[in-house]
Amino acid sequence: MTVTVRFAPSPTGRLHVGNARPALINWLFARKQGGRFVLRIDDTDRERSRLDHEVAIGEDLVWLGLTWDERVNQSARTALYEEVAERLKAAGRLYPCFETSEELEYKRKRQMARGVPPVYDRAALKLTEAERKAYEAEGRRPHWRFKLDDGEVRWDDLVRGACHYDVSHLSDPVLIRADGTPLYTLPSVFDDADLGITHVIRGEDHVTNTAAQIQIFLALGATPPQFAHLPLLTDAAGQGFSKRLGSLSLGELRASGVEAMALTSLLAKLGTSDAIQPRQSLDALVAEFDIAKFSRATPKFDPAELDHLNARLLHEMSFADAAPRLKGVGLDGDEAFWMAVRANLTQINDARDWWHICRETVAPVIEDAAFAGQAAGLLPPEPWTADTWKSWTGAVQQATGRKGRELFHPLRLALTGRENGPELKTLLPLIGRTRAAARLCGEAA
Ligand code: GLU
């Protein structure tokens, strides 16, 4: 059977780092196993689902490089959910309930007061045909619960290990609302079975749903998939990320100039014992991936760690990988430019400043006009190479008697307008003789 996984976001907000992690882990798992990655848009909730969010989710995944082999929208599959609901009703596994939410709340309160777990008492199962008719005559429309089998449900979780859950602690879950629309559970289980999902890798906020879902798989005559529940990412203060708050949304990170590979390099390793290193391709992350490496401890996401990784990634990036990134920020930089500046970047946007310095106009900083003018007079004719800096500054040293910082620092300020930056031996040929001479003479060039 082909390994098949799914990432199943609800389009009720933008993706953030907390949901990018399971998306990435699903994708890496699929690629590692030669399997398939399905993007399932959980848009059965018509009120809260929005098309702009759905579009953004697709864009964010493409930005991360997490392309899918199949994409389905649950909203297009409602007829299938109705059909499966009818099947479960006919089999006696879905039963109608007429309690209002106030009545249910009252029952819960009484159970709590008696020190009994607030589990649904299945009163609706005991209703006679006449009692049901009477409710319907009152205008009540039933919601439908799935009748759980008593006993213990066990599964071997790929992250949490052996899990077991005593079903008597669970209420029979409501699968169909009174308005006839399905809640998340039935479409999710049906789709997992129908789309051949072999592994459900998701956040541990869904652990408590798993026992009931396994019983629904069995009631549908399907083999339950393997489950892996990942601890949820938190921020440095231990708080969760919320899709609706937009905190650290992928859109914001992308707009702020973060490299997708910096983010994936971090998210693929957080919560594992592997060292976090910048990786230049998802293939490299696939090679290192093993779901068994993920621990149950809560991983913390630190934006400073992402920034640091982003800088390291750029410092090691080949020109082939950098060229499209440079284009993305509007620069037609060549290999010599990239190799000269990459070690000085923390973000790809920083390359713009160096592009100005190498190819466009900067205002020089002149500390000693006589010295700078003398240095200008000693500039050799072009063509310039990486050796030009050494021979030129050698000549300036001889003529002026300056050396060390006294020699180099004013030249850097005049040539670049900056205190620090890439090695001047690589910058000088990129700046070229015309600009260098003008800047040394105090002209913006
Ligand atoms: N749409 C559900 C969510 O976003 C999917 C849960 C699941 O992976 O089963 O929480």
CATH fold of 369-440, please? Arc Repressor Mutant, subunit A (1.10.10)
List pLDDT tens digits, range 46-70: 999 999 999 999 999 999 999 999 9
pLDDT(244) > 70: no
Q: Which of 77, 185, 206, 217 to mutate to test the pocket of ligand 1 (most atoms within 8 A of CB)?
A: 206
Helix residue spans in 272-404 (DSSP H): 282-288, 303-315, 319-328, 335-341, 351-359, 369-377, 388-400
Indicate if ligand 1 lies below 6 Å from the C-beta of 96.
no
Residue nearest to atom 6 of ligand 1 (CA): 8
User: What pLDDT does 246 receive?
Assistant: 61
The SS3 of residue 71 is: strand
269 is in an annotated binding site: no
Does ligand 1 have an atom closer than 6 angstroms to the CB of 25? no
Q: Which atom of ligand 1 is nearest to the CA of 205?
A: 10
Q: Quick one: pLDDT at residue 243? A: 62
Q: Is any ligand 1 atom within 6 A of the Cβ of residue 8? A: yes
Tokens 């869904």 correspond to 206
Both tokens of residue 38?
């399905």
Quote the CA–CA distance of 110 and 116 in Å, as a whole number.
9
C-alpha–C-alpha distance, residues 333 and 319, integer Å = 9
- The full set of domain ranges for the chain reads 80-176, 321-359, 369-440
Q: Which atom of ligand 1 is nearest to the CA of 213?
A: 9
DSSP 8-state symbol, 298: P
Alpha-carbon span 307 to 256, nearest angstrom: 11
80-176 domain in CATH 3.90.800.10? yes
Q: What is the pLDDT of residues 295-322, one digit of tens each?
A: 999 999 999 999 999 999 999 999 999 9
* 199-203 and 226-230 beta bridge pairing: parallel
What pLDDT band is residue 235 in, cutting at 50, 70 and 90?
Answer: confident
Distance between CA 183 and CA 272 in Å, rounded?
34
Q: Hey, what amino acid is at 345?
A: L
Tell me what the pLDDT averaged over the chain comes to.
96
How far is Cα 406 from Cα 398, in angstroms, rounded to an integer? 13
User: Tell me, what's the pLDDT at 242?
Assistant: 74
Q: Report the pLDDT value the prediction gives residue 241, as an integer from 0 to 100.
A: 82
CA 48–ligand 1 middle distance (angstroms): 15
